[in-house]
Every structure is written in structure tokens, then in C-alpha cells.
């Protein structure tokens, strides 16, 4: 299926000059446009089957749909796994959790969304974290030793994985994560 991301966009080549706009439009489509019709159909069916006063009282339903309202840092760390040669005893692992401990709840939500696509943990906590394919995927920190030192981290949101390059200091990691989260919030 071909989708025009903007009027006349199908006839426009992607160039260095419009690449940022193209990426922004693709991300907006994948996050919002592609799921708009199914979500609207789901809401129509839900409102047809369940009276509005009952919906307002079903906070458990909201919890199931939106996830836990608070991020439990201990639960997050406990259910985090490592890959790519990274270990729980490694400096990168310890620095990462030191940075996350220093974050506000909103910054933690940004980080979680950056890595998993969701701002909130699922019902049942991080043990029930799901990737985009619907399967359970533990939050994973992976060594990205092939990346240049102090470079930005990468994510694989479909499998809840954050690739962490080597950092010269905890402060360098903090800056790289801050830039990645800031750019993600602005660009998407």
C-alpha cells in the first residue's frame, strides 16, 4: 500500500534537504495515521456496547489499556536483562541505572517510550513488557561496542532493546541519553 505522507508527496524524491521532513512524516504516519481507523472502530464498538457511565467507572480497563501509572524503578531494573557482552556488573550497566535514578518520573517515561514505544509499564510491571509483535520482551541493555565511544544510543523498540556504546564517563552517558531523548521528543 502506497500512502502519500503529504499532498503531492508521492511525486517528490527524498533528498538531503527534505530527509528530516520525510522521516518526521513517516514516524507520524506509523505512530498515528496507520492505526487511526482501527482505533476509531474499536472506540465505536466499545461505546456501542458499554454505556458511557460504566466506562467512566472502569479504571481497571484504563489500566489494562494504558499500563501502570507509575514507573517502579526497582521492578524495571530487576526485570532488565543484558546482551552483547554487557553484564550487570559492568560500568555501563551501573552508570545507566545511576542516570535513570536521577531522572524525574517524566524523564523516565520519555526513556521508556524511547526504548519500548510506551510511556508506561504494562499491567503486572516490567515482567510483562511486550514488544511490537505482542510477545513478552524483557527490557534489554545491549553493549554497542562497535559504535564510537560517547556516541548516541540506539533503540530497537520492537524488542525493547537499548544499544549502549562505550562512554568515557557517567556524565558522557547522561549527555548522550539526554540528546537522544530530546531529539526523539522534538523529531517525532
pLDDT digits (tens, 9 = 90+) for 19-77: 888 888 887 887 777 777 788 888 888 889 888 788 777 766 665 665 566 899 999 99
Report how far residue 135's alpha carbon sits from residue 115's, in angstroms, rounded to the nearest whole number: 15
For residue range 98-138, list pLDDT tens digits in order.
999 999 999 999 999 999 888 888 878 899 888 766 778 89
In terms of domains, do 168 and 88 share one?
yes
Residue 62 falls within a domain, yes or no? no
pTM of the model: 0.64
112 within some domain: yes
Which residues face 130 on adjacent strands? 136
Q: Is the pLDDT of residue 188 over 50?
A: no
CATH number of the domain bearing residue 78:
3.30.2410.10
Give the residue numbers marked as catalytic. Answer: 158
d(CA 180, CA 38): 31
Provide the domain limits for residue 41: 9-57
Q: Please determine, for residue 187, whether its predicted confidence score (pLDDT) is greater than 50.
A: no
| 164 or 136, higher pLDDT | 164
- In what side-by-side order are the strands of the sheet with 81-83? 81-83, 140-143, 161-164, 154-156
93 & 14 share domain = no
The answer to whether residues 82 and 159 belong to one domain is yes
pLDDT in the model for residue 170: 97
The answer as to whether 121 is a domain residue is yes
- Residue 139's φ and ψ, nearest 5 degrees, are -65, 125
Q: Cβ distance 112 to 119 under 8 Å?
A: yes
Q: Are residues 72 and 159 both part of a single domain? A: yes
Counted domains in the chain: 2
pLDDT band with cut points at 50, 70 and 90 for residue 1? low
Query: Is 158 among the domain residues?
Result: yes
Q: Do residue 110 and residue 182 come from a single domain?
A: yes
The values of phi and psi at residue 141, to 5°, are -105, 125
Q: Is residue 3 part of a domain?
A: no
Amino acid at each position: 500500500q502506497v500512502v502519500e505522507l503529504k499532498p503531492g508527496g508521492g511525486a517528490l524524491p527524498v533528498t538531503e534537504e527534505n530527509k528530516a521532513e520525510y522521516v518526521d512524516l513517516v514516524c507520524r504516519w506509523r505512530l498515528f495515521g496507520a492505526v487511526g481507523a482501527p482505533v476509531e472502530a474499536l472506540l465505536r464498538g466499545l461505546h456501542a456496547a458499554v454505556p458511557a457511565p460504566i466506562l467512566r467507572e472502569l479504571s481497571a480497563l484504563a489500566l489494562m489499556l494504558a499500563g501502570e501509572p507509575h514507573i517502579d524503578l526497582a521492578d524495571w531494573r530487576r526485570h532488565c536483562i543484558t546482551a552483547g557482552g554487557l553484564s550487570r556488573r559492568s560500568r555501563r550497566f551501573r552508570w545507566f541505572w545511576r542516570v535513570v535514578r536521577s531522572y524525574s518520573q517524566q524523564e523516565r517515561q520519555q526513556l521508556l517510550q524511547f526504548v519500548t514505544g510506551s510511556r508506561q509499564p504494562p499491567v503486572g510491571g516490567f515482567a510483562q513488557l511486550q514488544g511490537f509483535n505482542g510477545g513478552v520482551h524483557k527490557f534489554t541493555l545491549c553493549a554497542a561496542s562497535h559504535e564510537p565511544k560517547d556516541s548516541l544510543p540506539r533503540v530497537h523498540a520492537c524488542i525493547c532493546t537499548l544499544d549502549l556504546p562505550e562512554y568515557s564517563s557517567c556524565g558522557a552517558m547522561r549527555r548522550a541519553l539526554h540528546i537522544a531523548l530530546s531529539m526523539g521528543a522534538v523529531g517525532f
